[in-house]
Structures are given as C-alpha cells and as structure tokens.
Amino acid sequence: MDPNPYRRKPSPITGGSNSEDISQQLLPVKFLSSGTTMKLTRTLTTFLILVSVLLAFSMIFHHHPSDPNRIMGFAEARVLDNRDYSNLTTSIDSNYSDKLLGGLLATGFDEDSCLSRYQSVVYRKPSPYKPSPYLVSKLRNYEMLHKRCGPGTESYKKALKQLDQEHIDGSGECKYVVWVSFSGLGNRILSLASVFLYALLTDRVLLVDRGKDIEDLFCEPFLGMSWLLPLDFPMTEQFDGLNQESSRCYGYMVKNQAIDTEKTLSHLYLHLVHDYGDHDKMFFCEGDQTLIRKVPWLIVKTDNYFVPSLWLIPGFDEELNKLFPQKETVFHHLGRYLFHPTNQVWGLVTRYYEAYLSHADEKIGIQVRVFDVGAGPFQHVMDQISACTQKEKLLPEVDTLVETSNRVKTPKHKAVLVTSLSSGYSENLKSMYWEYPTSTGEIIGVHQPSQEGYQQTEKKMHNGKALAEMYLLSMTDNLVTSAWSTFGYVAQGLGGLKPWILYKPENRTSPDPACGRAMSMEPCFHAPPFYDCKAKTGIDTGKLVPHVRHCEDMSWGLKLV
C-alpha cells in the first residue's frame, strides 16, 4: 500500500507501460481508409460520451438521502482520499443509531428544522455516561407539563392574571420560573441549565426570556410547545431594572422583614447574580424553599452555575441522587438535552469540522481566555500553553536540529483547534510546527475559526461563532481550557471531557505547574454561599459532602465530582 495516500498517481494514458500498449493497439488504424476512420472516430466519440454520462449518474445517485443512518456530506466526504474509513463509517452509523442519546431526547421533532438535535451525536465519540431511567422519565413528564401549562394554554392565561395581584388565594394548576437573559453566552448557558434543573426539582414550567439572540442561537428543546417567554409578558420591560433593591426581590424582602408567611405572594424576584448578598443567598436554605415553593411566578436573574449548592439543600438531595447517580454528569446530560444550535449555527460547526478536523487521527482543543488588560498575545501565556501541552504529552516537542528529525513512514496527524479572541496564540503554534519537525514525527495542523479581538456579548454573529466554537471544542479528543472560563466549562460538559486546566497566571508570569487535570467535567459555581442554614453561621460548604468540592481553578468555587 502506498504510504502516502495523497501522492498523485501516474496517468494511464501519458506514462508507463500502459501508454506503450495503447500506442501499439492504435497503430493499425493509420492503414484504414478515411471513411472507415471517420466511422470509427464517431463511434469512439459516442462511446466516450455515454461512459461520461453513466459515470456522472453513478456519482449523483451514490448518496441515498432516504437512508436515515447517513448524514449528507459527512460519511461520503471521505471517499475522495484513499485511506481506509470502513471503521469510521461503522462508528458513524452506530453513533447515529443512538441519536436519542440513550433516551435523553424525545422523538417526534421535525429533523430538518433543527439538524443539530439528532446529528451532533455523529461528530462526537459515544458518551460513556448514560442518563438514568429516572432522569429520562422525569424529562418526559416535564415535557407533558410544559405542553399543558406553556404559553397560550388556558392554564397559562389563568396564571398570568395572578401577576396583577399582591397576594393570591390558593395555588393554580401550574407554576412558573422565568429565566432572565443576562451576561455573556457561556454564563447564560450554564445559568439556564441551572434554572431548568430547579424547575425539574420543583415541578415548575421554565420560560426563557429571549433577550437579543436566544432564538437565533438555539432550537426549541421541548416538543409541541415553545420555551420562549411571550413577547407580551407584562413584566418584560422591568427585567433590565431588576436588582437587589427591587421591592419584590426575595433577599430585600427577607432583609426588611416584608414577607407575611400567612399569605402567598403572586410573584418573587430571585437575585442570584455574582454580586448577591447574604439575604439573597437564603434561597439555598430549605426553610426558605418551603416559602418560595408556594409562589406561582418566580423571576430569576443569574450568571452562575448554581447546581452544586442545590445538592446541599436536604429537600432536593434524594431526588438529585435518583436523577444523577453519576453526580458529575448533570450539565453533560442537561446541556445535550437543552442546547441544540440552530441550522445557521450548526452550518458553522459542520463546515469547519469537515474542512479542518474530520481527517485527523486525533483532535486537540485549546481554549484560551486571558483576563489580563492589554493587547495580546502575551508571551507568558504562550509559554504556559507550550509547557502544558508538551508535559502532558498532548502535543510533541519540536526538533530544532532538522537534519536529525525523526521521519515516520506513516505519520500520525493531529489537528489542533484553538479558540481565542486573539489570533496570536494559534499563529505562534502554527509557525513553530511549520518551521521545525516534531520529535515524534507527528504532523501537527493548527486551526482557529475566528479571532474577534474582544468579547462582543450583544452581537448575534459574535455569539453564533462563539457557540459554534464551543461545539467544535466539545468534538475534540482531548481538551485544554482556561481557568475561570465558562466558555471552556460549556465545551467540556457537552463533550463529556475532563480537561487540562491552564491555571490563572499572576503578575504576568507563567505558573508552575502550567496546568492540571480536572476532577470532573462539571462546571464550577463561582459564587457559592458559605452559610449553614441550620446553625445560622458561616461554614465551608466545600467540605460538607464528598461529592461537592472546591474547584481546581477557583479555590472558593464549588463543583460536583
């Protein structure tokens, strides 16, 4: 077998022994009459035209659009090179057969309206983490609740009238939690997953403030009923102004002893943003949950992944253990259930994957987020990336003595996907692996989809590219992320990857060690409460139970392990 599948083959017409044979066969034609020659020429021309037409038809009909186990442009795209993809094709078919992710996703959706819902499984290795039967059942029950109580239903209209009242008598059939769109895309994805889990635990219907771009980024996750808050919702104009001093803010009311426990409020605002105070954090106390549970409308503004602290509420602990017996899989399952990129964003993902990543033997993701002020790239960050990837054997060292480079007959091809606001880090890696051979003989290709320069949270295309890059990172085999970055948290959770975390540099100096392996693929809760609700005193909530610990990249944060 030719060790180089891309080498151009000699033409059977213009070179080699074949050309001699053809010349010998055509030689007698010179002695035929001119009339006979013309007939032969016409016959030969007609024959060649027919062969061309038949060949064209065979190529057109080679793809079978009716075959549900194939994705256009994915399996067949690899026929153009000569490598053996039989194992990959088998893997693709078997992956797609689990397009419902072990029952996580429901059937019945129009697949063309949201291609990513059932296609994303093809682009990733099969997840070793299966959803529990209890979680699958809970999601199907939630979908029925959402359909029964969602926007436009009689139950929704009845509940909407309660917002005009200070207090309500009794409780209606349906209760709601409204997620307010707030902060950057990574924060929004993580906070929305947190609020959805809270809705599952409290039998509430989740309604999503669409903000400026939610419906442009994500497909509807629930069958038969929208999750988007209707545009005519009466409180929408108040969302931007909601804060800790709002009259219906739960923390504000607790602080000022303004809650009458004998009556049920029509709605409450929950301020769970990173700057929240001690009274706002009472949300995580079981006694306060008993009161909050009665309120039909909850409006939540948060930029946090507050899931770890839900596990510390005794009333939720048993249910959470049944939903997630593998405790580090919360966002992995909920993220893949909720967040399906729209067809426009999915096109960004698949086109880039096919062009730059699909043929690699191994895919390495490097997510760079720099919090230093000033224009990058920074040399200490570049040094840190090199130190981490080479020490952990993710990328090879380069051989500056070119004449002694290690030549391998069939070199391994690694594709490195870099995501960063700056192009400098990928350019440095690209130059290094172009100018010098690797010590292992591996071929390294470095790719970066975008370089936006700075974060542009309110721009639709900026966020579309950001979401596409999160998905691309989640499709890699090994992942390196940056400390504190919710962008990286989303990618690792969707991909089921335990990343190597680049520790946050101090004083523009590369840390030693440069990185460390994450305990789990779960995101970090950056602003958890440190309060013992029973003792009413401060406590280290990272030491209460073995499955909730402090984060590797943020010593005061909490994560599930």
Q: Where are the domains of the chain?
A: 103-338, 343-560
Does the structure show a pLDDT above 90 at 378? yes
Overall average pLDDT of the 252-267 stretch: 94
- What is the structure's pLDDT at 233? 98
**Confidence at residue 67, expressed as pLDDT on a 0 to 100 scale:** 36
- Please state, for a pLDDT cut of 70, what percent of the chain lies above it: 80
* Confidence category of residue 400, pLDDT binned at 50, 70, 90: confident
Measured distance CA(40)–CA(51) in Å, rounded: 16
Mean pLDDT is lowest, of 94-108, 325-339, 463-477, for 94-108
pLDDT at 515: 98
Angstrom distance (rounded) from CA 186 to CA 561: 21
Q: How confident is the model at residue 55 (pLDDT cuts 50, 70, 90)?
A: low
The partner residues of 417 in beta bridges, in order of sequence, read: 365, 447
| Residue with the larger pLDDT of the pair 426 and 64 | 426
Query: Which CATH architecture best describes the domain 343-560?
Result: 3-Layer(aba) Sandwich (3.40)
Residue 334 token pair: 């909920």
pLDDT of residue 339: 98
Give the rounded distance of the alpha carbon of 436 from its chain centre: 34
Name the pLDDT band for 296 (thresholds 50, 70, 90): very high
Q: How confident is the model at residue 451 (pLDDT cuts 50, 70, 90)?
A: confident
Give pLDDT, residue 70. 34
pLDDT at position 277 over 90: yes
**Neighbouring C-alpha atoms within 13 Å toward the C-beta of 501:** 25
- Predicted TM-score (pTM) of the model is 0.83
CA distances to 221, 224, 267, 338, 427 from 147, rounded to whole Å, are 12, 6, 22, 16, 50
Residue 14 has pLDDT above 80, yes or no: no
**How many other β-carbons are positioned within 10 Å of the β-carbon of residue 225?**
20
Query: Which whole number is the average pLDDT over 351-373?
Result: 96
pLDDT at position 372, please? 84
> pLDDT category, 405, cuts 50, 70, 90?
low
The answer, yes or no, to whether residue 57 has pLDDT greater than 70, is: no
Tell me the range of 93-102, 175-184, 397-406 where mean pLDDT is highest.
175-184
Does position 60 have pLDDT exceeding 50, yes or no? no
d(CA 443, CA 455): 32
Distance CA 240, CA 261 (A): 28
DSSP letter, residue 551: -
Average pLDDT, the chain: 86
Question: DSSP code of 341?
Answer: B
| Residue 177 CA from chain centroid, whole number | 24
Q: Which of 31-35, 457-461, 484-488, 493-497 has the lowest mean pLDDT?
A: 31-35
pLDDT, tens only, 482-541: 999 999 999 999 999 999 999 999 999 999 999 999 999 999 999 999 999 988 899 999
> Radius of gyration over alpha carbons of the chain, in Å?
29
The pLDDT value given to residue 3: 40
Instruction: Please name the helix (run of DSSP H) or strand (run of DSSP E) that holds residue 90, with its range, or none.
Output: helix 86-97
Q: What would the mean pLDDT of 435-442 be, rounded to a whole number?
A: 93
pLDDT at 315 over 70: yes
Determine the Cα–Cα distance for residues 335 and 103; give it in Å rounded to an integer. 14
For the ranges 89-93, 101-105, 347-351, 534-538, which has the lowest average pLDDT? 89-93
Average pLDDT score over residue span 404-415: 81
